[in-house]
Amino acid sequence: MEVDLTNSELFKSFAEFEQDGVYIDLHNEFDCKVIAFSSDTKQLTLTFKANECCKRGINSVELVFDDCIIEHYSAKLNKSDTDSGTLDLMYRGRFEISSGHLGEVSDTGKHYYYINFLPDVSIELFSKSVRAKVYLG
């Protein structure tokens, strides 16, 4: 199943979403195992695996940000942190165009997204589209 998350409500987290009666809670029921960016395809992929809290018969979810430009990436890595891989926030927001003026869509038709993982990983990016690929089973 594939879900288009591109035009999620501004400033509202889309870490939880529902499609065709299937509810996905990336914060509580999944752990991010892989963050991969390809400069060739300009694609950022976040791969989530179901954890012990997931009782919905979903194996994994891939979030794919297409035609992507990463504006900011910050990570403080600590292997002893048990929250590592837990999605905290993910939402579509505004960005500064110039001199304090804010925009929602760039001149090239890209939206601005904010992604934060616990404890200290932060990503900000422009992307043309966002898709969730849900793998049942």
* Nearest of 50, 79, 45, 75 to residue 62 by alpha carbon: 45
pTM: 0.91
Structure tokens at 15: 């870490």
> pLDDT tier at 79 (50, 70, 90 boundaries)?
low
| Rounded Cα distance, 10 and 20, in Å | 22
Q: Angle at Cα 67 formed by Cα 65 and Cα 71, nearest 5°? A: 80
**For the chain, which residues make up each domain, given as ranges?**
2-136
Residue 11: per-residue pLDDT: 96
Using one digit for the tens of pLDDT, what is the confidence trace for 80-134?
A: 655 678 999 999 999 998 888 999 999 999 999 999 998 889 999 999 999 999 9
Tell whether the model's pLDDT for residue 78 goes beyond 80: no
Which of the 8 DSSP states describes residue 83? T
Residue 29: per-residue pLDDT: 95
Give how far Cα 20 sits from Cα of 8, 9, 34, 86, 112, Å. Answer: 17, 19, 26, 25, 26
